[in-house]
Chain A
């Protein structure tokens, strides 16, 4: 394990997922981004004297859905609590979170690590509100933008059951995929709609007691999570091996310098003085509400991946790639069902569609060739109307013009010349015009077959099927 000989690495994660609700957690301001600073605010999210929070049911619904998808217990009664600390991005100087009575408890997330299934259990999921954003150094002042203040967050806390930086990253990728499948968070680490704090400690092999843990914040990508953990684990191991002890600290990951910067030590740790939020009654979730949310849960990534392998006979790699995003999986599935050719469809989607999306940075929703269009092309290739090689050109034409496969083929004149008579004429013409090469072929220079095929293909404008062409050539050349 990454802890090195003699040590077991123990990692726990805390993930904040910004929920895609229309309005904020405790007021009716739009949860919108990219607006002018301090325009999406009201007395409630500004924490003005006398203003009171009221719970956004949509945020609760989303968290319940997440809890159900992760196999958590949805607590019938949960309670909001105040987390007290002074900081200018929190206008009440307390955050409304959940403490000893979270919304969801237990649950787990499964992912694959080099072919082995890993199951990480969860501690809890709870709801809280986001803080504003501080903008430092404008003319010597710090400015505050409260637009983000009050946007709902679901905090997902794992048990300390992750044992390597790679596992941490795999866990997070799977969690992100879940959040996106459930359409409750866009899971963007760079932009902070999904934020990760990690806790890590080393335990001597065979020892039961956990070591002293440290915390790392500001991990803005999966890569940063892995790199930050690697650095910290090495630091802890060196410290322990040289007979030192680990001090409980919180560090920030500096992605540019690839190093950890200590933020605060335990002596300076906050006493958040949590207590039940008196402005909000207990959050009561009835059976009906839970069932309503359960009904909204789509087929989840792992189930879908397994079904793709089973139902479409896809290799594990293909199934994994095609189910990474639910809208790609939908696109593939519709295409495969239309063509009845699951593997061919998988090749087209993975090779042509995904490559195109990657190079344009677009998403499948706005892709000019829908599943029906792609299925049309696959049918034409399968039916021999278009050659496999011409198919790529047809596809390019389709996404440029938005026309159907048949129209593109017609416009480009790329139908296969399948009439044998027509092909035989072309072959005859080619052989007649190349007497020297025919002579050399007959004398044993059989490699020239490739040359003849190429000449026929050229003459046909690429519309001939090379397999048929070489058949005719062999016959004509007296094989």
Chain B
């Protein structure tokens, strides 16, 4: 993985600045890496070979210092609209759909000098935690082909982990960036709700969805986030204030940061590797300054229920537009009703149908109060609990998932167990808080496990500084590479 494609974003920018690499070389290297590794990995649904090379040649004529993401190849999750280029959301129902416009994040990446290299595989409509619910084939974990890369941004995490691309965009509704980042040993960031415009992100659950970067390190995430974040008139839920400076304080260290660990963690059956990663992080923080304090975080056990009620309710409405009338797949029949029914029956996968049914149910007359209204109350309660926590500490430290990556097929027939693996990630979505997953170490099976940090709303700067500090202590990237054990 020592090729240019496996470099971090920061490393590439330095090479460009020193004139030691050209965008076309880097893109060429990425394309080679994809050619040699993606046949097995299945991370990409589409590679924009010619477009990426043309863009790289064009950038070659420009001054590398002028653009913050100059010549950085980025893979984009396939639920983010790319004008005139396939955007399938991993679903048959969108087939070869090509949107007539670019998502705001695609515009911003391009404006910052990045090169969109292709679209990555995902669980259909971002519903899933293993990438096995893609209509276009599963993705394999670069650390061990028998395991899932996690999901739903499994393709993006695997593409970065396998050294096919230095950075990728994912989307995180209940952990879909952080969990695959953790399973694949890379860094994944979800910003404060509204930090990055959702315009052009095909909605799963609008009040939770956030686009975010996946990269080799916290600096890569910071560089991408800085370019992507900021107000957007086309998304009314985007934060109107500018994003804080994420880069200048990145290396300020852990010394004056206060950490908390949820009291309730003790009642969870954590994989030994996850527990020891957390212990290691805890000791490192203590060594650097103040030992993490234990903070009460009520409601964690009901966050999963709250999340799945609201997310599925929103999804049932968001996915109503896929009906075969205007675009995508159509099962032609005599009547309108059967056109809807047959198109959606054939076009959606089982998990998507399950969630549409659940979401429709919780919004139905007679059930709304028992489920949806109650979930909104729980959401308020969780928000308040987090607000109280962040009046005491700067960063909350917790696992990303209770265990390491699961085997392909392991949880496919057990949706509830799959849902429960989101227990530590959904609260940040429910409360709209920024959170990051950083690789901490390897399990006994040689699979990566991560640690999650959560910060107060709007404090991505604090979050990334903490992540950078821990990353330096873990030295994960120097110690381990996929498929090769210790470096």
Kindly name the residue among A50, A82, A92 whose own CB sees the greatest number of chain B CB atoms within 10 A: A50
Q: Which of B81, B99, B205, B340 contacts A86 (CB 8 A)?
A: B340
Q: Which of B89, B199, B317 contacts A51 (CB 8 A)?
A: B199
* B230-249 CB contacts (< 8 Å) to partner A: 233-237
Judge whether A43 and B101 touch: CB under 8 Å: yes
- Known contacts: A273-B360, A273-B363. The answer to whether A93 contacts B236 by CB under 8 A is no
| Interface hit among B53-61, B177-185, B318-326, B461-469 | B318-326
How far does the Cβ of B403 sit from chain A's closest Cβ, in whole Å? Answer: 31
Judge whether A55 and B236 touch: CB under 8 Å: yes
Judge whether B317 and A82 touch: CB under 8 Å: yes
What would 21 A/B residue contacts be, using CB atoms closer than 8 Å?
Answer: A46-B326, A49-B87, A49-B202, A49-B322, A50-B200, A54-B235, A54-B236, A84-B363, A88-B336, A91-B325, A92-B321, A93-B320, A93-B323, A94-B320, A144-B326, A271-B364, A271-B365, A273-B317, A273-B365, A279-B237, A281-B237
Residues of B within 8 A of A278 (CB): 205-207, 237, 314
How far does the Cβ of B135 sit from chain A's closest Cβ, in whole Å? Answer: 15
The residue on A at minimum CB distance from B360 is: A273
Judge whether A50 and B321 touch: CB under 8 Å: no
Residues of A within 8 A of B201 (CB): 50
Residues of B within 8 A of A46 (CB): 326
Residues of A within 8 A of B360 (CB): 273
Give the CA-CA distance A47 to B319 in the complex, in Å: 11
How far does the Cβ of A368 sit from chain B's closest Cβ, in whole Å? Answer: 46
User: With contacts A49-B203, A84-B320, A86-B323 known, what are 7 further pairs, Cβ within 8 A?
Assistant: A52-B237, A54-B233, A91-B321, A271-B365, A273-B316, A278-B205, A280-B236
User: Using a Cβ cutoff of 8 Å, how many contacts connect chains A and B?
Assistant: 97
* B331-371 CB contacts (< 8 Å) to partner A: 336, 340, 360, 363-365, 368
Interface check B266, CB cutoff 8 A: no
Give the CA-CA distance A456 to B132 in the complex, in Å: 106
Interface check A53, CB cutoff 8 A: yes
Interface check A367, CB cutoff 8 A: no
Kindly name the residue among A49, A55, A274, A279 whose own CB sees the greatest number of chain B CB atoms within 10 A: A49
Residues of B within 8 A of A52 (CB): 198-199, 234-237
The residue on A at minimum CB distance from B373 is: A275
Judge whether B203 and A50 touch: CB under 8 Å: yes
Interface check B313, CB cutoff 8 A: yes
Interface check B100, CB cutoff 8 A: yes
Per-residue interface assignment for chain A, residues 268 to 308, with 1 indicating a CB less than 8 Å from any chain B CB and 0 otherwise: 00010111001111000000000000000000000000000
Judge whether B236 and A53 touch: CB under 8 Å: yes
The residue on A at minimum CB distance from B327 is: A48
- Known contacts: A52-B198, A54-B234, A88-B336. The answer to whether A279 contacts B325 by CB under 8 A is no
- Known contacts: A48-B99, A50-B203, A86-B340. The answer to whether A93 contacts B233 by CB under 8 A is no
- Please count how many residues in chain A sit with their CB below 8 Å of the partner chain's CB atoms: 28
Interface check B436, CB cutoff 8 A: no
Counting contact residues on chain B (CB < 8 A from A), the size range is 35 or more
Give the CA-CA distance A51 to B200 in the complex, in Å: 6
The residue on B at minimum CB distance from A82 is: B317
Give the CA-CA distance A94 to B317 in the complex, in Å: 7
Interface check B397, CB cutoff 8 A: no
Give the CA-CA distance A82 to B201 in the complex, in Å: 19
- Known contacts: A278-B207, A281-B236. The answer to whether A50 contacts B99 by CB under 8 A is yes
Residues of A within 8 A of B97 (CB): 49
Interface check B103, CB cutoff 8 A: yes
Per-residue interface assignment for chain B, residues 48 to 92, with 1 indicating a CB less than 8 Å from any chain A CB and 0 otherwise: 000000000000000000000000000000011100000101000
Residues of B within 8 A of A94 (CB): 317, 320
Please give me the 8 A-B residue pairs with the lowest Cβ-Cβ distance, nearest first: A93-B320, A278-B206, A278-B207, A273-B363, A49-B202, A50-B200, A50-B81, A50-B202
Kindly name the residue among A91, A92, A273, A274 whose own CB sees the greatest number of chain B CB atoms within 10 A: A273
Kindly name the residue among A52, A55, A94 whose own CB sees the greatest number of chain B CB atoms within 10 A: A52
Interface check B94, CB cutoff 8 A: yes
Residues of A within 8 A of B206 (CB): 278-279
How far does the Cβ of A42 sit from chain B's closest Cβ, in whole Å? Answer: 8
- Known contacts: A86-B323, A92-B320, A273-B363. The answer to whether A49 contacts B234 by CB under 8 A is no
The residue on B at minimum CB distance from A48 is: B99
- Known contacts: A43-B99, A275-B313, A279-B237. The answer to whether A49 contacts B321 by CB under 8 A is yes
Give the CA-CA distance A30 to B79 in the complex, in Å: 29
Residues of B within 8 A of A53 (CB): 236
Judge whether A50 and B103 touch: CB under 8 Å: yes
Interface check B372, CB cutoff 8 A: yes
Residues of A within 8 A of B313 (CB): 275
Residues of A within 8 A of B327 (CB): 48
How far does the Cβ of A38 sit from chain B's closest Cβ, in whole Å? Answer: 11
Give the CA-CA distance A84 to B340 in the complex, in Å: 15
Kindly name the residue among A48, A91, A280 whose own CB sees the greatest number of chain B CB atoms within 10 A: A48
- Known contacts: A278-B206, A280-B236. The answer to whether A49 contacts B320 by CB under 8 A is no
Give the CA-CA distance A47 to B318 in the complex, in Å: 10
Residues of B within 8 A of A54 (CB): 233-236
Residues of B within 8 A of A275 (CB): 313-314, 317, 363, 368, 372
